[in-house]
Amino acid sequence: MDNQAQILGELIPNGGGDPIPLVKDRLLVGRRESCDVVLRFSNVSAHHCQFFVDAGYWFVKDLNSRNGVKVNSRRIATRKRVDPGDTISIAKHEYTLNYDPVDLGATGPPPPDEETMHEVLGRSLMSRAGLDRRQVHEQQAADKRREAAKRYNVLDDNPGQVKRKKQPPGG
């Protein structure tokens, strides 16, 4: 047996760079040196996401990162199966995942994307409903930006765009 660790897949950076070998079946990805895959970018969280193999397929799970994880341009909320050739965005840094499910022990149809009942029940009701504090704060900030954009358009010369606040009587 050779001294080199078995490679279970590769993350290929889109736009160039050295491939990142996936040498364990469970990998922590983040900015911290203690992570299995270290991404030294300021927009990557300390513990950003986790990759793991289930029934011969790679899955990715967002660990409540600030800038999120996307698979094929769709943001994930929990865990998501990553098929060979899929694009993964980790805080705007894109990678293509290359691997062969058969080499990882896949037989039959791929496992579902959804979390198992045990994983779902292990999270708080507020988190499952998408109401944890960070999500609510981000939604409120987005609502404020949309409201501000509706109030005044600098490119529109029509009168009446600025709504004046009602003055109290005698003021």
Q: What is the pLDDT of residues 84-125, one digit of tens each?
A: 999 999 999 999 999 999 999 999 888 887 665 555 666 677
Residue 59 has pLDDT above 70, yes or no: yes
Please name the residues in contact with 75: beta carbons below 8 A apart, sequence gap of 6 or more.
68, 69
Per-residue pLDDT at 153: 62
Other residues' Cβ atoms within 10 Å of the Cβ of residue 39 = 21
Between β-strands 26-30 and 37-38, what pairing exists: parallel, antiparallel or unpaired?
Answer: parallel
Q: Give the integer Cα–Cα distance in Å for 55 and 110.
A: 8
Per-residue pLDDT at 1: 42
56 φψ region: left (φ > 0), alpha (ψ -120 to 50), beta (else): left
Q: Give the integer Cα–Cα distance in Å for 54 and 24.
A: 12
Structure tokens at 133: 């504090």
